[in-house]
Amino acid sequence: MKHTLTLLTTALCLSLTSPATLAFSNTELQQKMQTLVVQKAKADQPGFTVLVRKGDQVMLRGGYGMANLELAVPMQANSNLRLASQTKQFTAMAVLQLVHAGKISLQHKVGEVLKDYPAVGRDISIHQLLTHSSGIPNLSRMPEFKQNKSKDATLAEMLALFNDKPLQFAPGSRFMYSNSNYVLLTAIIEAVSKQSYADYLQQHIFQPLGMKNTGYDSATAIIPNRASGYEQQGNTFLNAAVISMTRPQGAGALRSTVDDMNLWDQALYSNKLVPQALLQQSFIKHPSTDGQPQPYGYGWMMADLAQLPTQEHSGGIEGFSSYIIRIPAQQVYVVVLANSSYFDSYTLAVKLAAIAIGKPIEPVAVELSAEAKQAIVGNYSFDDGTERHISLHQGELLCQTLDGPTQKLIPTAEGKLYLEDDISYLTLGDIKAGKAELALVIRGFGTFPAKRLQ
């Protein structure tokens, strides 16, 4: 809930340094995975749980760092963490189950299900809610939500935050990620099923799949192996700000473990929950009214990695972050659940997925000439809205965003400057009059040319 998606548009293919003909044994791939997660983990800091599966084989499973700093409790592989927006996958599945049961259709209008819903959104379809194409403003960006997030609220009170607000565009005309869509879907699930959202998911999804450690989160319930959530302020860690889990609803209120999430992913290859023909609607880039395919299906983003289609989602809520990527062509599944808002679950998950398919993202550094290095040095404004300062220190190029971390740039033979410990890179264009042309490439966002500020 706290963050929107890391992945917002059609993904770019990453340049992977391992040649396609280079084959790795499973043991080598597992060693690469273990090396990567150990590099990411800090024994005395908030940590993460991770699971990587390929086919039927679990290639990596573990907990790293701390689950609770105050009590010095290490993270375990079975630690229970908040899923944040990974919740949307389950909300979408609940809707599809109700569609399969004939209780609702994807083209049903909100007003047909919720009879008292205000006129401004009555004609929005369930399909448009699922695909974030409704135009409803995002409640988690509203001052009323932010100011009262620690207070318990009813579902009706959450709907009241946005149900009479003007739509930001005509329904179906474009994609805009909004948690309000899935809060409204929560109300639709409850109205159609005659059950609470939490009870419906337990009865129709979690229990049938044996997901015994998954459920609607609660601050008062005793949850075995629950991990505490943290924020970071400079070099200091703080307990995360309180958010009542009555507020995220079906947009981000669930908790789980990596083992339960693995059961969930395996079920998506079967007919256990809904027929495959219906489920595949979740993994389509549904077009807007102008015919242009949008990046979001039903609870999933569509992208690619090394030219293989992927289905992905990020999650972020106070004290927790997560990322999931699945690659159906090789039945690869990666889930990373972290108990800190600042942790880069996205980069770790994508790098682990790349290793799993045998194409690790490992830039091979080359040496640039002194003239080229000097031409790159400068202050830049990129079209993604960021400003970056590139400097030269002891022969190494360093890149820093305003008030952000400093990252070493790794030049490669194909004219790319990879940001250290990242999957984004700068492209090195022409050098004219001692000044280099640069652009920033961010997977899933696109290419952003730079303007030199000096």
Residue 10 has pLDDT above 60, yes or no: no
DSSP string, 255-304: EE-HHHHHHHHHHTTSSSSS-HHHHGGGGS--B-TTSPBPSB-SS-EEEE
Q: What is the pLDDT of residues 391-406, one digit of tens each?
A: 999 999 999 988 778 9
Dist. CA 6–CA 315, nearest whole Å: 9
Q: What is the pLDDT of residues 261-278, one digit of tens each?
A: 999 999 999 999 999 999
* Planar angle of CA 397, 402, 405, nearest 5 degrees: 55
Q: Are the C-beta atoms of residues 135 and 163 closer than 8 Å to each other?
A: no
Nearest of 192, 180, 186, 197 to residue 134 by alpha carbon = 180
Nearest of 72, 188, 189, 211 to residue 121 by alpha carbon = 188
State the span(s) of the chain assigned CATH 3.40.710.10.
1-362
- The architecture of the domain spanning 1-362 is 3-Layer(aba) Sandwich (3.40)
- Under 8 Å CB-to-CB from 89, ≥6 apart: which residues? 264, 282, 299, 300, 313
Q: What is the pLDDT of residues 163-206, one digit of tens each?
A: 999 999 999 999 999 999 999 999 999 999 999 999 999 999 99
Any idea which fold 370-452 has? Lipocalin (2.40.128)
pTM higher than the cut 0.85: yes
Q: Angle between the 87-100 and 179-193 helix axes, to the nearest 10 degrees?
A: 40
Mean pLDDT of 211-236: 95
Mean pLDDT of 87-115: 98
State the span(s) of the chain assigned CATH 2.40.128.
370-452
**Between the ranges 142-146, 208-212, 420-424, where is the mean pLDDT highest?**
208-212
CA distances from 154 to 142, 181, 243 (A): 17, 16, 14
What's the pLDDT score for residue 396? 94
**Between the ranges 10-14, 158-162, 450-454, where is the mean pLDDT highest?**
158-162
Nearest of 87, 1, 85, 79 to residue 46 by alpha carbon = 79
- Under 8 Å CB-to-CB from 125, ≥6 apart: which residues? 106, 107, 108, 109, 110, 171, 172
> Which range is least confidently modeled, 15-29, 75-89, 104-118?
15-29
Residue 9 has pLDDT above 60, yes or no: no
Residue 412 has pLDDT above 50, yes or no: yes
Q: What is the pLDDT of residues 298-357, one digit of tens each?
A: 999 999 999 999 999 999 999 999 999 999 999 999 999 999 999 999 999 999 999 999
What's the pLDDT score for residue 75? 98
What's the pLDDT score for residue 454? 67
